[in-house]
Structure 1
């Protein structure tokens, strides 16, 4: 096939495999290449672009690893339907029936969220929406945030929740085909976000102190655009970074000249003190603190700190869309953080979540089920057979999240995630049911 017989409709900016992959990625995003479209052969594309077949083959490998294309033997290579859906995340919330007790959601207990009534009554100047030209962040809110921020941050932004922050950071830092290093396991919606961006996701296993330093160093032997981690109350494991492990990881990331994005999704209801690699790498750290679990998911608020150049780029990108996060909501959050009754309510919620978690972990241990991690509203339970465990619990009216959507690396053992923060009733009885499900399908039986 000669180069005059095909029309690509796209062209790379540079004659490299990455340049070709980026060009195809843009064509997919712009709709020039639709899902299911069959791509010309490697030899035909190489002839058209006057590049070597080896270069095109390497580009196709990049695209295949990121999920943008797939090869089906003699049927050829086609554009994959990567879409913008949340495939992994939807699996964690897939309802086959209505549960009497749904512990699959990962959301906070409504009863432990603060009451907004008094804060709303105390609002004065903020009751009238301001100008398009007002500063995007309420200055008094940033002053309060700085008081217990885990490092001296250069610049702050307020955005519409933690996932909004992660999406904005991904758009600013990650290009199609870039490698992004994440914890294994990690939050499914983050994996959906990175896959939709065309990133190559690299998982790093964890122990009870956080990411394993040796595995992270090995992952960073090849350049990466970002390392994304949860510094405390990690979802799903409940693991929090220790100061010594954080310093180790900071040294490895600093040597690799890569940006770290931290998702402190538990925020004020985490029992572990706030921690950040920004203490050692302030010029390379984006730190996100969510207020959804502590102050209410529908507030849709998260604070984000980082180097001025990156935060300013994110703010500029936001101006093309929503512009800013409601200053009225920011002032409500300010009241919740500064008024004594609301602050005490959050302290009570933090203590209560800790009590619920410890009670369930101790009760499971009595049945031979050991759970790692020590913080957050979720527990990550090892099971003999993931499907059998979920079916058994569902038959008892209990919903839990499957472990598979959280996995980045091949699983050595099945898991389920249980939102223990939602359990306010009898723990011993529930622990017995969960333990029975954990052993369901095992060879020895007996439970």
Structure 2
């Protein structure tokens, strides 16, 4: 049978995300590839206790169909989480989604027609790039530096692409670079977008995991006219397997979003929503997140120390203040796709930078994840990578 696929279906079945997860699942490979949280930090006992309570109190109810935008109690609790992030939101502004990845997909489906321009940081989150491409978007990348997206370059970009559908950005501990946008640039980005009449999609899955520097308000904090659509997730602060995230947006946007969400899956898993809601009632979330951030700070500092020790001296890397990623740049035009193949042969993995660029690919770049490996794995893995990079650079 010959299937007549839609234009949005990739012609190649090569899947960068699947390859990352496959490498991460191989027990023989030390994988710095996938952005996986540390499983030993998952609150298993607390989640089990919450699940038992939910079945005891709401057994039949949680197994029934539910409201499209989510369990009202959980949405109320999310408004409290948002207050802690310096964003005032009402329940009507909140939608619960099946991981923030679903929010990216639904927002893209709502906003993008084939040929529409979407402005992204360059480099940017590879799974968002894939989603935008699947709806036929023309991606326009804006360069970054250590302080995040260059807003002067953004100002020039929006002058050229006046009908861009939205600007997609990850201000906190960006994926893939680990960089954090400064407060001044956050204000400037919101100003530039407002003047251009272009919405912002702010993706903030990592913002709660800050272990250095000053806590900064999200772009949504500076939004006075509803132009920022804010996305976040429980995946990094609780557990990704639960597939639970949320979206915060203007009421008029949420009315349309509710229809799209209903068409996609009717509603996010009802049982999971009740369990997370009960967990938030029973457990000190800030204390739990502090445990995660302490562990990630240690692993990040260890990896950075070992990169400086084992990688060639002309190699540059980002210095994240939180999150899960370090961005590495090797001067001299090294092909990191080929380096990846060499490293896999030596049972160590990373993600080549080629997967993250909307525009021209910058050679010699790759992403490392430090959250999912223990100290010994980090030590051995970085040592293996340093040897492989030295061989490539010397050749």
Q: TM over 0.5: same fold?
A: yes
Which of 369, 374, 385 does residue 424 from structure 1 map onto? 374
Distance 1:176 1:127, change over 3 A: same
Residue 193, structure 1, aligned to residue 155, structure 2: no
Deviation string 1:10-48 (CA, Å, 9 cap, x unpaired) is xxxxxxxxxxxxxxxxxxxxxxx9579xxxxxxxxxxxx
Matched residue, 1:370: 316
Matched residue, 1:89: 17
Larger of the two Rg values belongs to structure: 1
How far off its partner does 1:341 sit? 5.8
8 Å CA contact 1:182, 1:228 repeated in 2 = yes
Partners of 1:136 and 1:84 in 2: how far apart?
35
Distance 1:184 1:92, change over 3 A: farther
Which of 100, 123, 126 does residue 58 from structure 2 map onto? 126
How far off its partner does 1:192 sit? 1.2
Q: Structure 1-normalised TM-score?
A: 0.75
How far off its partner does 1:164 sit? 0.3
Deviation string 1:240-297 (CA, Å, 9 cap, x unpaired) is 2221111111111111111111111225434473632222224111101111122111
Partners of 2:364 and 2:228 in 1: how far apart?
33
Distance 1:94 1:297, change over 3 A: closer
Number of positions where the alignment pairs a residue of Structure 1 with one of Structure 2: 370
8 Å CA contact 2:200, 2:228 repeated in 1 = yes
Partners of 1:219 and 1:89 in 2: how far apart?
29
Distance 1:211 1:244, change over 3 A: same
Which structure has the higher relative contact order (CA within 8 Å, separation 6+)?
Answer: 2
Q: How does 1:41-440 map to 2 (within 5 A)?
A: 82=10, 87-90=15-18, 92-93=20-21, 98=26, 99-115=28-44, 116-123=47-54, 124-129=56-61, 132=65, 134=67, 136-149=69-82, 150=85, 151-153=87-89, 155-221=93-159, 222-223=161-162, 224-271=164-211, 273=215, 275-282=217-224, 283-340=226-283, 344-367=287-310, 368=313, 369-374=315-320, 375-383=322-330, 384-426=334-376, 427-440=378-391
Distance 1:371 1:137, change over 3 A: same
Which consecutive unaligned segments of at least 5 residues does structure 1 have?
Answer: 1-32, 37-67, 69-79
Which consecutive unaligned segments of at least 5 residues does structure 2 have?
Answer: none
Partners of 2:13 and 2:196 in 1: how far apart?
32
Q: Structure 2-normalised TM-score?
A: 0.85
How far off its partner does 1:157 sit? 0.3
Moved more, 358-367 or 265-274: 265-274
Partners of 1:343 and 1:121 in 2: how far apart?
23
How far off its partner does 1:395 sit? 2.7
CA RMSD of aligned residues (A): 2.8
Distance 1:250 1:147, change over 3 A: same
SS at match of 2:316: coil
Distance 1:321 1:428, change over 3 A: closer
8 Å CA contact 1:382, 1:416 repeated in 2 = yes
How far off its partner does 1:81 sit? 6.5
Distance 1:156 1:81, change over 3 A: closer
SS at match of 2:263: coil
8 Å CA contact 2:352, 2:366 repeated in 1 = yes
Partners of 1:163 and 1:351 in 2: how far apart?
26
8 Å CA contact 2:29, 2:344 repeated in 1 = no
8 Å CA contact 2:118, 2:165 repeated in 1 = yes
